[in-house]
């Protein structure tokens, strides 16, 4: 029985990675939920938007690195982030003008906009691959660990190590700053409130003199920032690979719906619900169980509920359960 | 000319059939005008026509002597019209105070005095100011909705069935508030299902039948008119 | 007017394929034709769901893959060693898994609400999972240990491969029923997201459950409904036939095989389109369209909208599964890693939208045309790049860079085609009558 080591192992393999992943999903889901709230459709191009933003960050980071610019222990990518956001903002505003605006004018059904967004997804996907190719790219530099497993062991004298990577801490810190800024904007500024008003009741917002095109524009700007930050953080934490973002679409959607689509607070909660469920259910608990039980108890198998290959199944199962029992999500979102 | 003068309005929604067949509405300053009539008479449509939500084929709308027939609803808000829709008339996930702030979105001056006025007019709104509007009771929501419309400091306030779906006690309370609003000099044009009670507080009543004026008189006279009583007020 | 346009468009389509035959090779022309026909059937399935009922299915890939699995499960001969090693245990474990879910579903309404229900359900599921895993894991290990380089899976039933096509339809219909049962009746986006999820899971199963589908090791050498080229080249009648027309027996054998496939596929298309056209004109079809055009009114008239939607969604998925089985039969192998959503889900959508949603002939035309473009965009792009950069040397970085990126041109092109059609001609090439 070794409770402390078991806890450390659990923290190391479940809590820390799931927290970082949850923050990335939450930022992604916030983008989906904002688009849903204001433009009223599920944006299937959101994964590719994240990919595009992250791509620009990768390219600018490489450029800065070649110029010898760096942030010391912090990754250079943080410096490149504003450029990624800017490029994504231009992309999204252009897309809105060229593509989506027309469908707003003719008041197309939401499902039409969903299909249109899959066309946008195709274009963005092709564009990203044409610009950067399909290779895996690592672009994290600076200090690799905040606490390495070895330091932790010497510090605490435990046999189990707890490693916290710089990218994980940066993910959480940047996500917290982003979310705080977003909520300040939505709840305290006149423009942010007008966005919420438009999302709440479009007709009344029009009667109140709120300009819908301005609200839409600001929404895309926010989405550009959220998507780029989410994509770049995900890429920093793992690596940048264009094809991975398509697969992120399902957990991101699941997070938004689980939390209650259209509800920003719900998107954050949903992100962490999905991330923790995914990591916990696919983690092999052999080590933790071995620490907890007497020596003779050591299990033969991995004590893994689900193979990591089925992590999508976790998002999917949670999504289905929520749809069956609480279609409006954990926090009340827009249902119909 | 009266403060609001909507003359001989004809028209319908989109390219559909006409609903209004020559309907005239006038409201004086600080006056309460009530539109009543049977179901499908075009009461709400008449009010929406005044607010510019449907295209008029014929007729004109004048506000304070100015012809506003060609203006969009938003432009009419700038001209001093306030409109409270029958349903979906609040921002449910925003606080009551934020609802008022959004009502004043077009204003660039200090809105604090107006918020205080609304609070004074509607103590319930003040009490619930930090609560989400969607969590309030029906009568309270209607007060928030009226308060929101007052935030633009309108000269004419239009209410589409403000007492639909509320209890009689709440209805009396709402009517009292509306009288208070009128006393501040705001003209009120209101569509009502509860004809009898509404005519009691009305300076002027319009009975609409099939999109045209059937009877027009003071509220008291209409209530006293045996013909109106028999046909529209159920004896 | 549309009546007169359809033959013209199909004529142009035929000319395009003939052009490939003349300028590239008859072999590629027939390959495009065959996959075009299969794509047309997939498009018919999606068109049934979208054009008739307005249901947005983003899981086409999953239903196609289930069709592919059906080919393996139906037509491969059973691996007797694997069956004796763990076959029975596998079946029992799957039965335990299903029983657990059924018990949980049945217990749910019977347990008292609140904490007892939560704990009760958790207990049922955990015990069930434990029982399932303790049977399933050793069975998997035993099966996969049998000659993993060649088999390592249970194999199939050893039935004629043509039977796999309806089986594929059945598998896809089953999966579609599960999804539709949960997500229909909610907002339309939710069905889309749910289908997206089920497709990912189906692919994950195919990739990882080696005992079922050999996973990423692929299943090769699937039986064919048509003769093998080698056998044809050895057959007397075929060689003498070729000699009579002066054809080379080797190249004509591949063309002959492809023609046979084309015949099969054409027959299927004709049957499906005829059935769908008849259905569309029947009272059932009129009701479907009434529901699509005004759900609220149809519901008010007492029509069971969700029930009809369920029906049509399952039917559409069955057609897609059928096409998926046909495709795997044509390929002769099951390659789980080849299933990509952009290729198998969204491309089919482009076909339906471009062809004309709600029109079956439109879906067929869209399927063939978009498949043609999907294949030919790259050579055409290459030709354009080569002529634009004719002045540059062969090794120049601009030229090679452009050529490298051509592979991704098709995604961009398809996206732009979809967006342009949606914007300027939302009813497609052959609009609904």
Residue A180's pLDDT is what?
A: 96
Residue A111 contacts B, CB cutoff 8 Å: no
Verify whether the Cβ–Cβ distance B101 to A206 is below 8 Å: no
Cα–Cα distance measured from residue A179 to residue A187, given in angstroms and rounded to the nearest whole number: 12
Going B34 to B39 to B41 to B45, the CA torsion angle's sign is positive
**What integer is the mean pLDDT of B121-125?**
92
pLDDT grade for A296, boundaries at 50, 70 and 90 = low
Please say if the pLDDT value at position C181 is more than 60: yes
Please say if the pLDDT value at position A323 is more than 90: no
pLDDT grade for A109, boundaries at 50, 70 and 90 = confident
- Asked whether residue C110 falls in the same domain as residue C64, the answer is no
Cα–Cα distance measured from residue A263 to residue A33, given in angstroms and rounded to the nearest whole number: 7
Query: For A23-34, what is each residue's pLDDT tens digit?
Result: 999 999 999 999
Cα–Cα distance measured from residue B130 to residue B127, given in angstroms and rounded to the nearest whole number: 8
pLDDT grade for C251, boundaries at 50, 70 and 90 = confident
- Domain presence at residue C431: no
Residue A295's pLDDT is what?
A: 67
pLDDT grade for C244, boundaries at 50, 70 and 90 = confident
Verify whether the Cβ–Cβ distance A208 to B102 is below 8 Å: yes
* Better-scored residue on pLDDT, C164 or C432: C164
Verify whether the Cβ–Cβ distance A119 to C418 is below 8 Å: yes
Q: Which of C207, C415, C425 to mutate: most A Cβ within 10 Å?
A: C415
Please say if the pLDDT value at position C400 is more than 80: no
User: Are the C-beta atoms of residues A271 and A27 closer than 8 Å to each other?
Assistant: yes
What is the tally of structural domains in chain A?
1
- Asked whether residue C333 falls in the same domain as residue C381, the answer is yes
DSSP C264-328: HHHHHHHHHHHHHHHHHHSHHHHHHHHHHH-HHHHHHTT--HHHHHHHHHHHHHHHHHHHHHHHH
Q: Which residues in chain C touch residue A249, judged by CB atoms under 8 angstroms apart?
A: 196
- Asked whether residue C6 falls in the same domain as residue C33, the answer is yes
Residue C60's pLDDT is what?
A: 95
- Domain presence at residue C429: no
**For residue C390, which phi and psi values (nearest 5 degrees)?**
-55, -30
* Neighbour tally for C83: CB within 10 Å: 16
Residue B55 backbone zone (phi > 0: left; psi -120 to 50: alpha; other: beta): beta
What would the two tokens of residue A336 be? 């119909």
- Asked whether residue C116 falls in the same domain as residue C130, the answer is yes
Q: Which of C419, C424, C426 to mutate: most A Cβ within 10 Å?
A: C419
Question: If DSSP codes are grouped into helix, strand and coil, which group holds residue A5?
Answer: helix
Cα–Cα distance measured from residue A28 to residue A48, given in angstroms and rounded to the nearest whole number: 11
Look at A278-287, B138-147, C163-172 and tell me which has the smallest mean pLDDT: A278-287
Residue numbers of the domain that contains A91: 3-325
CA distances from C365 to A77, C7, C176, C210, C268 (A): 48, 10, 25, 38, 15
> Which residue is closest to B98 within chain A, CA to CA?
A193
What is the tally of structural domains in chain C?
2
**What integer is the mean pLDDT of C389-394?**
73
**What integer is the mean pLDDT of A92-105?**
95
User: Are the C-beta atoms of residues B149 and B157 closer than 8 Å to each other?
Assistant: yes
Residue numbers of the domain that contains C260: 2-78+155-424
- Domain presence at residue A129: yes
Residue A201 contacts B, CB cutoff 8 Å: yes
- Neighbour order of strands in the sheet with B4-12: B20-27, B4-12, B55-63, B66-67
Q: Which of A107, A186, A207, A262 to mutate: most B Cβ within 10 Å?
A: A207
- Domain presence at residue A330: no
Please say if the pLDDT value at position B106 is more than 70: yes
Please say if the pLDDT value at position C14 is more than 50: yes
Cα–Cα distance measured from residue C56 to residue C58, given in angstroms and rounded to the nearest whole number: 6
Q: Share the mean pLDDT of chain C.
A: 89
CATH code assigned at C232: 1.10.3470
> Which residue is closest to A199 within chain B, CA to CA?
B91
Q: Which residues in chain C touch residue A326, judged by CB atoms under 8 angstroms apart?
A: none
Residue A333's pLDDT is what?
A: 61
* Neighbour tally for A159: CB within 10 Å: 12
Who among A193, A209, A210 is closest to B98 (CB)?
Answer: A193
Quick one: what percent of chain C has pLDDT higher than 90?
A: 47
- Domain presence at residue A213: yes
Q: Which residues in chain A touch residue C404, judged by CB atoms under 8 angstroms apart?
A: 133
User: Are the C-beta atoms of residues A183 and B88 closer than 8 Å to each other?
Assistant: no
- C74 Cα distance to chain centroid: 17
Specify which of B29-38, C38-47, C354-363 reaches the highest per-range mean pLDDT.
C38-47
Residue indicated by tokens 């079946």:
C91
* Better-scored residue on pLDDT, A70 or C326: C326
Please say if the pLDDT value at position C223 is more than 60: yes
- Asked whether residue C136 falls in the same domain as residue C232, the answer is no
Please say if the pLDDT value at position C1 is more than 50: no
Look at A85-94, A207-216, B99-108, C229-238 and tell me which has the smallest mean pLDDT: C229-238
**What integer is the mean pLDDT of B63-87?**
90
Residue B235's pLDDT is what?
A: 57
- Asked whether residue C162 falls in the same domain as residue C145, the answer is no
Please say if the pLDDT value at position C300 is more than 90: no
Residue A204 contacts B, CB cutoff 8 Å: yes
Last residue of a domain, one of C133, C150, C167: C150
Which subunits have 3 or more CB–CB pairs within 8 Å of chain B?
A
Residue A193 contacts B, CB cutoff 8 Å: yes
Cα–Cα distance measured from residue A3 to residue C249, given in angstroms and rounded to the nearest whole number: 75
Please say if the pLDDT value at position C3 is more than 70: no
Please say if the pLDDT value at position C258 is more than 60: yes
Who among C194, C349, C405 is closest to A130 (CB)?
Answer: C405
Q: Which of A130, A247, A284, A325 to mutate: most C Cβ within 10 Å?
A: A130
Q: Which residues in chain B touch residue A207, judged by CB atoms under 8 angstroms apart?
A: 73-74, 77, 83, 85
> Which residue is closest to B82 within chain A, CA to CA?
A207
Please say if the pLDDT value at position C169 is more than 60: yes
Question: If DSSP codes are grouped into helix, strand and coil, which group holds residue A133?
Answer: coil
Rg for chain C, CA atoms, rounded: 24
**What integer is the mean pLDDT of A219-240?**
95
- B235 Cα distance to chain centroid: 27
Who among B78, B83, B105 is closest to A194 (CB)?
Answer: B105
**What integer is the mean pLDDT of B138-144?**
92
**What integer is the mean pLDDT of C326-354?**
92
Residue A90's pLDDT is what?
A: 98
**What integer is the mean pLDDT of C89-117?**
89
- Domain presence at residue A336: no
Q: Which residues in chain C touch residue A119, judged by CB atoms under 8 angstroms apart?
A: 350, 415-416, 418-419, 422
- Asked whether residue C164 falls in the same domain as residue C199, the answer is yes
Distance from CA of A224 to the nearest CA of B (A): 25
- Asked whether residue C112 falls in the same domain as residue C210, the answer is no
Max Cα–Cα distance, chain A, nearest Å: 73
Cα–Cα distance measured from residue B30 to residue A236, given in angstroms and rounded to the nearest whole number: 65
- pTM of the entire structure? 0.90
Cα–Cα distance measured from residue C179 to residue C320, given in angstroms and rounded to the nearest whole number: 15
pLDDT grade for B136, boundaries at 50, 70 and 90 = very high
Quick one: what percent of chain C has pLDDT higher than 70?
A: 99
Last residue of a domain, one of C150, C183, C212: C150
Q: Which of C136, C408, C427 to mutate: most A Cβ within 10 Å?
A: C408
Strands B20-27 and B187-191, bridge-based pairing = unpaired
**What integer is the mean pLDDT of A265-293?**
89
**What integer is the mean pLDDT of C112-128?**
88
Please say if the pLDDT value at position A220 is more than 90: yes
Query: For B188-206, what is each residue's pLDDT tens digit?
Result: 999 998 888 899 999 999 9
Q: Which residues in chain A touch residue C183, judged by CB atoms under 8 angstroms apart?
A: 320, 323
Please say if the pLDDT value at position A336 is more than 50: no
Residue B181 CA neighbour count, 13 Å, CB half: 32
- Domain presence at residue C333: yes
Residue A104's pLDDT is what?
A: 92
What would the two tokens of residue C295 be? 């759900």
**What integer is the mean pLDDT of B47-53?**
91
Cα–Cα distance measured from residue B155 to residue B188, given in angstroms and rounded to the nearest whole number: 9
Distance from CA of B58 to the nearest CA of A (A): 24
- Domain presence at residue A331: no
- Domain presence at residue A80: yes
Verify whether the Cβ–Cβ distance A115 to C353 is below 8 Å: yes
Distance from CA of A203 to the nearest CA of C (A): 21
Helices (H), chain A: 3-10, 16-39, 46-67, 77-95, 101-105, 110-132, 149-156, 166-188, 190-200, 202-207, 212-237, 244-259, 264-282, 286-292, 311-325
Residue A160's pLDDT is what?
A: 83
Residue A297's pLDDT is what?
A: 65
Verify whether the Cβ–Cβ distance C193 to A309 is below 8 Å: no
> Which residue is closest to A253 within chain C, CA to CA?
C193
- Asked whether residue C181 falls in the same domain as residue C38, the answer is yes
* Chains B, C in contact, 3 or more Cβ pairs below 8 Å: no
- B177 Cα distance to chain centroid: 13
Please say if the pLDDT value at position A20 is more than 90: yes
Residue indicated by tokens 């933790």:
A288
Quick one: what percent of chain B has pLDDT higher than 90?
A: 60
Q: Which of C59, C179, C200 to mutate: most A Cβ within 10 Å?
A: C200
Strands B81-84 and B32-36, bridge-based pairing = unpaired
Who among A197, A207, A210 is closest to B94 (CB)?
Answer: A197
Query: For A41-52, what is each residue's pLDDT tens digit?
Result: 999 999 999 999
- Domain presence at residue A333: no
Strand partners, C219: C334
Distance from CA of A235 to the nearest CA of B (A): 35
Q: CA triplet C143, C148, C153: central angle to 5 degrees?
A: 40
- Asked whether residue C26 falls in the same domain as residue C94, the answer is no
Who among C196, C410, C418 is closest to A250 (CB)?
Answer: C196
A-C CB pairs within 8 A amount to 129
Residue A305's pLDDT is what?
A: 78
Quick one: what percent of chain A has pLDDT higher than 70?
A: 96
Residue A209 contacts B, CB cutoff 8 Å: yes
**What integer is the mean pLDDT of C78-96?**
91
Which subunits have 3 or more CB–CB pairs within 8 Å of chain A?
B, C
User: Are the C-beta atoms of residues A64 and A80 closer than 8 Å to each other?
Assistant: yes
pLDDT grade for C68, boundaries at 50, 70 and 90 = very high
User: Are the C-beta atoms of residues C210 and C152 closer than 8 Å to each other?
Assistant: yes
Residue A304's pLDDT is what?
A: 78
- Domain presence at residue C390: yes
* Better-scored residue on pLDDT, A151 or A231: A231
Q: Can you give C165-189 as a three-state secondary structure string? A: HHHHHHHHHHHHHHHHHHHCCCCHH
**What integer is the mean pLDDT of A81-107?**
96
CATH code assigned at A177: 1.10.3470
Q: Which residues in chain A touch residue B91, judged by CB atoms under 8 angstroms apart?
A: 196-197, 200-201, 204-205
**What integer is the mean pLDDT of C141-151?**
87
> Which residue is closest to A42 within chain C, CA to CA?
C189
Residue B114's pLDDT is what?
A: 94
Q: Can you give chain B as a three-state secondary structure string? A: CCCEEEEEEEEECCCCCCCEEEEEEEECCCCEEEEECCCCCCHHHHHHHHCCCCEEEEEEEEECCEECCCCCHHHHHHCCEEEECCCCCCCCCCEHHHHHHHHCCCCCCCCHHHHHHHHHHCHHHHHCCCCEHHHCCHHHHHHHHHHHHHCCCCCEEEEECCCCCCCHHHHHHHHHHHHHHHHCCCEEEEECCCHHHHHHHCCEEEEEECCEEEEEECHHHHHHCHHHHHHHCCC
- Asked whether residue C135 falls in the same domain as residue C250, the answer is no
Q: Share the mean pLDDT of chain B.
A: 90
Residue C349's pLDDT is what?
A: 94
Please say if the pLDDT value at position C27 is more than 50: yes
**For residue C72, which phi and psi values (nearest 5 degrees)?**
-65, -50
- Domain presence at residue A332: no
Query: For A243-260, what is each residue's pLDDT tens digit?
Result: 889 889 999 999 999 988
Please say if the pLDDT value at position A210 is more than 60: yes
Verify whether the Cβ–Cβ distance C412 to A119 is below 8 Å: no
- Domain presence at residue C433: no
Verify whether the Cβ–Cβ distance A196 to B94 is below 8 Å: yes
Chain B residues with a Cβ under 8 Å from any Cβ in chain A: 73-74, 77-78, 83, 85, 88-94, 98, 101-103, 105-106, 148, 152
**What integer is the mean pLDDT of C403-427?**
87
- Asked whether residue C119 falls in the same domain as residue C171, the answer is no
Residue A335's pLDDT is what?
A: 41
What would the two tokens of residue C299 be? 């519901």
Return the closest-CA partner of residue A249 out of A17, A22, A29.
A29
Q: Share the mean pLDDT of chain A.
A: 90
Cα–Cα distance measured from residue C182 to residue C240, given in angstroms and rounded to the nearest whole number: 59
pLDDT grade for B85, boundaries at 50, 70 and 90 = very high
What would the two tokens of residue A122 be? 């195709």
Verify whether the Cβ–Cβ distance B91 to A201 is below 8 Å: yes
* Chains B, A in contact, 3 or more Cβ pairs below 8 Å: yes
Cα–Cα distance measured from residue A93 to residue C415, given in angstroms and rounded to the nearest whole number: 18
Last residue of a domain, one of C150, C167, C200: C150
3-class SS shares of chain C: helix, strand, coil, % to 5:
80, 0, 20
């Amino acid at each position: 029985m070794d409770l402390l080591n078991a806890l450390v192992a659990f923290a190391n393999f479940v809590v820390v990675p799931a927290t970082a992943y949850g923050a990335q999903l939450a930022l992604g889901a916030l983008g989906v939920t904002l688009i849903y709230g204001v433009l009223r459709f599920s944006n299937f191009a959101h994964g590719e938007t994240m990919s595009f933003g992250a791509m620009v960050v990768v390219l600018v980071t490489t450029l800065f690195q070649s110029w010898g610019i760096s942030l010391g222990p912090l990754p250079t990518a943080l410096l490149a982030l504003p450029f990624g956001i800017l490029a994504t903002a231009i992309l999204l505003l252009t897309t809105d003008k060229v593509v989506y605006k027309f469908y707003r004018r003719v008041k197309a059904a939401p499902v039409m906009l969903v299909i249109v967004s899959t066309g946008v997804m195709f274009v963005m996907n092709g564009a990203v691959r044409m610009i950067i190719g399909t290779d895996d790219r690592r672009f994290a530099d600076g200090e690799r660990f905040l606490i390495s497993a070895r330091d932790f062991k010497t510090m605490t004298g435990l046999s189990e190590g707890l490693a916290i990577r710089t990218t994980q801490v940066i993910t959480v810190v940047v996500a917290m700053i982003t979310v705080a800024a977003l909520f300040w904007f939505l709840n305290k500024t006149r423009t942010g409130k007008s966005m919420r008003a438009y999302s709440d009741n479009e007709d009344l917002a029009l009667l109140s003199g709120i300009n819908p095109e301005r609200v839409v524009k600001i929404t895309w700007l926010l989405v550009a920032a959220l998507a780029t930050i989410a994509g770049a953080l995900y890429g920093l934490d793992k690596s940048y690979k264009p094809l991975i973002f398509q697969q992120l679409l399902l957990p991101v959607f699941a997070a938004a719906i689980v939390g209650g689509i259209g509800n920003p607070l719900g998107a954050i909660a949903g992100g962490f619900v999905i991330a923790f469920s995914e990591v916990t259910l696919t983690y092999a608990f052999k080590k933790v169980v071995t620490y907890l039980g007497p020596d003779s108890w050591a299990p033969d198998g991995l004590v893994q509920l689900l193979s990591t290959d089925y992590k999508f199944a976790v998002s999917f199962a949670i999504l289905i359960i929520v749809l069956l029992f609480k279609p409006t999500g954990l926090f009340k979102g827009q249902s119909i | 000319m009266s403060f609001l003068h909507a003359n001989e309005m004809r028209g319908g929604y989109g390219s559909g059939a006409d609903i209004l067949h020559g309907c005239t509405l006038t409201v004086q300053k600080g006056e309460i005008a009530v539109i009543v009539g049977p179901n499908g008479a075009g009461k709400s449509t008449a009010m929406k026509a005044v607010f510019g939500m449907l295209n008029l084929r014929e007729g004109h709308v004048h506000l304070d002597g100015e012809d506003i027939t060609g203006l969009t609803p938003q432009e009419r808000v700038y001209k001093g019209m306030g409109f409270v829709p029958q349903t979906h008339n609040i921002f449910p996930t925003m606080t009551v105070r934020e609802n008022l702030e959004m009502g004043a979105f077009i204003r660039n001056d200090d809105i604090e005095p107006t918020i205080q006025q609304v609070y004074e007019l509607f103590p319930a709104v003040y009490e619930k100011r930090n609560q989400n509007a969607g969590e309030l009771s029906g009568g309270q929501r209607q007060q928030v909705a009226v308060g929101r419309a007052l935030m633009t400091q309108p000269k004419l306030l239009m209410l589409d069935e403000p007492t639909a779906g509320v209890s009689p006690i709440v209805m009396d309370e709402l009517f009292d508030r509306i009288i208070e609003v009128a006393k501040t000099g705001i003209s009120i044009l209101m569509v009502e299902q509860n004809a009898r009670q509404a005519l009691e507080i009305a300076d002027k009543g319009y009975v609409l039948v099939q999109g045209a004026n059937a009877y027009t008189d003071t509220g008291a006279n209409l209530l006293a008119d045996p013909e109106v009583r028999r046909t529209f007020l159920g004896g | 007017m549309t009546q007169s346009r359809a033959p013209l468009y199909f004529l142009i389509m035929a000319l395009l394929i003939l052009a490939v035959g003349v300028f590239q090779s008859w072999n590629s022309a027939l390959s495009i034709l065959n996959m075009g026909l299969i794509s047309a059937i997939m498009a018919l399935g999606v068109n049934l769901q979208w054009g008739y009922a307005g249901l947005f299915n983003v899981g086409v890939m999953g239903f196609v893959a289930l069709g592919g699995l059906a080919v393996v499960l139906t037509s491969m001969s059973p691996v007797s060693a694997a069956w004796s090693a763990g076959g029975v245990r596998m079946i029992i474990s799957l039965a335990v898994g299903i029983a657990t879910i059924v018990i949980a579903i049945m217990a749910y309404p019977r347990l008292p609400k609140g904490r007892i229900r939560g704990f009760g359900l958790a207990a049922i599921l955990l015990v069930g999972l434990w029982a399932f895993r303790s049977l399933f894991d050793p069975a998997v290990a035993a099966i996969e240990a049998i000659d993993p380089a060649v088999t390592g899976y249970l194999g199939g039933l050893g039935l004629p491969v043509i039977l796999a096509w309806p089986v594929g339809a059945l598998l896809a219909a089953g999966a579609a029923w599960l999804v539709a049962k949960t997500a229909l009746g909610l907002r339309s986006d939710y069905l889309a997201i749910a289908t997206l999820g089920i497709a990912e899971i189906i692919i994950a199963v195919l990739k990882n459950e080696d005992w079922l589908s050999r996973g990423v090791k692929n299943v090769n050498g699937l039986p064919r409904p048509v003769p093998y080229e080698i056998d044809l080249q050895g057959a007397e009648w075929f060689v003498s036939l070729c000699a009579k027309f002066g054809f080379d027996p080797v190249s004509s054998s591949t063309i002959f095989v492809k023609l046979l496939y084309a015949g099969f596929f054409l027959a299927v298309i004709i049957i499906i389109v005829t059935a769908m056209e008849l259905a569309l004109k029947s009272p059932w079809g009129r009701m479907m369209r009434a529901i699509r055009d005004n759900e609220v009114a149809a519901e008010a008239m007492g029509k069971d909208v969700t029930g009809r939607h369920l029906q049509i969604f399952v039917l559409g998925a069955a057609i897609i599964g059928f096409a998926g089985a046909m495709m795997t039969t044509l390929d002769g192998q099951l390659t789980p890693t080849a299933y990509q959503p952009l290729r198998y889900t969204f491309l089919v959508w482009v076909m339906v939208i471009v062809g004309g949603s709600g029109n079956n002939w439109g879906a067929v035309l869209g399927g063939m045309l978009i498949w043609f473009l999907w294949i030919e965009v790259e050579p055409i792009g290459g030709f354009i790049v080569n002529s634009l950069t004719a002045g540059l040397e062969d090794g120049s970085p601009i030229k090679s860079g452009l050529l490298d990126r051509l592979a991704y041109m098709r995604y961009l092109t398809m996206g732009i085609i979809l967006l342009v059609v949606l914007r300027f001609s939302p009813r497609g090439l052959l609009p609904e009558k």
